[in-house]
Chain A
Amino acid sequence: MKSPKSTGVVAIVAVLVVGSFLVASCLLTVGEADAQQSRTCVMNPIQQSICIYQAILADVAKTYTLRGGGGISSIVQNSTTTFTVQIAQEGRKDLLNYTVKIGSGGKVEIVDKTQSAQTY
């Protein structure tokens, strides 16, 4: 039986490990997201869709320069491989339309991106 002290140390280490994983996930770039997806996306539909969203979000973080507004208000799946990111801005919603390709190894690749706006 572990002492209360060693149990506490184990718990802290566990928290740090999980926390580091979460932080790393949030800081993924497109390339890093792809790298992770190629390992894990083939596993199941939920993990695969998470990888797709991560790849899209990484692209938004890298390429969308309008930092104001209300942020991402939704990401909608339109078909198996097409998704629309809605970003709220003054007087309009920016619509980023992504087409992704899921490779045999589960690797997610953004193959097309178009942008439009819904004006109010």
Chain B
Amino acid sequence: MKKKLTFSKFDAQLNTDCCDPFNNAELTLTLRMGFRQINPAGGTASGTYHDYGDATAPTRKIVKWSSAAWSSWKKNFVSSAQAFWTGRFWLINDSGSFPCSKGGATYYPNVWCRFELIGNEATVVGNHHTIDVVRLHPSENWFGSHSTLYDSKDTNSVQKATTSKGKRVMQRAHVHEVGHLLGLNHVDVGKPHCPATGNTNASVCYGVADDDMVSVMGSGMQLRIENAYPWRESLRYFALEELLAAVSSPLSLAFGGASLSAPVISLTAVWPAKMHRHYPRTDAELKAGTAIISRPMRPH
């Protein structure tokens, strides 16, 4: 079964065809970003641009994009952000979804979380997000970016914070921004010092404790279990979609419709996330709650 859902932020594809005794189902989130060059005014080779695109903010020196620089920057952005986010989480199938039969045995795959980032020109139809990009002059080390305005050095690793022990906290801004595009909030949103109803962009929302500060949705590069949220939430929508389809077609539910795996993905299933590979489980392993984290012996 391969099913697709389209969300405003990204598309999602659930593939259970790849399931076997050793391979899990795959849930791929696809994000299409449309990039648009910001060049110096008047077609000149160099000029200035205000931080945040705000005319009251300081200016930084920028240079005109060349075709090669543009292509290279986009390629680096896409490949590094995709590599950061793809294949990092496994959602554990505790609900007995997607049974897969092989050699007389039934296996229950987990869901491997994959990410595909497509970097288009802004003119391409169907992008989820459009991003303006300035090319900084080599003498400039920083530019005031925001969610729809990036700079050519946002892919570089720079110090964002300092831990309580004086350790530098480094981050490549673009992976943090892609986290936002996937729907993730800053690491401390929801804590008393960063209420979700307040300004979630305040500096305290980037993490106060060292452990939070170093998170990718703080000021660092560390992934956390909770960063699997976009995949978990997407999976819930697949469950909801299947349920709605079943309700609208009771016969399909009764006789096991072609679009459904049986049983349907449970709406109430938790799908806890893990950050290392968990292999598909047999019925007995599932019931016992056994985690299979190294390649198991299975009959071929």
Q: Are B145 and A90 in contact (CB under 8 A)?
A: yes
Q: Which A44-72 residues have a C-beta within 8 angstroms of B?
A: 65-71
Q: Which of B105-113, B156-164, B229-237, B265-273 binds A?
A: B156-164
Q: Do A73 and B173 form a contact, CB below 8 Å, given A68-B219, A115-B202, A117-B199?
A: no
Interface size class of B (residues with CB under 8 A): 20 to 34
- CB pair A120–B52 under 8 Å, yes or no, is yes
> In the complex, what's the smallest C-beta–C-beta distance from B237 to chain A, in angstroms?
28
Chain B residue at smallest Cβ distance from A92:
B201
> In the bound complex, how far is the Cα of B203 from the Cα of A67, in angstroms?
11
A-chain residues with CB within 8 Å of residue B204 when the two chains form the complex: 115
Q: Interface majority SS on B: helix, strand, loop or mixed?
A: mixed
B145 near A68 with CB under 8 A, answer no
Collect the chain A residues with CB atoms within 8 Å of residue B161's CB: 65-68
Which of A92, A94, A115 counts the most chain B CB atoms within 10 A?
A92
Q: Which residues of A in the span 79-115 have a Cβ within 8 Å of any Cβ on B?
A: 88-94, 115
Q: How close is A67's CB to chain B, nearest CB, in angstroms?
A: 5
* A120 and B206 alpha carbons, distance in the complex (Å): 16
A6 on the B face (CB < 8 A) = no
In the complex, the answer to whether B202 meets A117 with C-beta atoms within 8 Å is: yes
Q: How many residues of A contact B (CB 8 A)?
A: 20
Which chain B residues border A3 with CB–CB below 8 Å?
A: none
Of all chain B residues, which has the CB nearest A88? B144
A67 touches B51 (CB 8 A): no
**A85 shortest CB reach to chain B, Å:** 12
Task: Tell me whether A115 and B52 are in contact (CB under 8 A).
Answer: no
Contact at A67–B168, with CB atoms within 8 Å? yes
The residue in chain A whose Cβ has the minimal distance to the Cβ of B176 is A90
User: What residues on A are CB-neighbors of B173 within 8 Å?
Assistant: 90
**Given A71-B142, A91-B146, 11 further pairs, Cβ under 8 A:** A66-B203, A67-B160, A67-B168, A68-B158, A70-B51, A88-B142, A89-B203, A90-B145, A91-B52, A119-B199, A120-B52
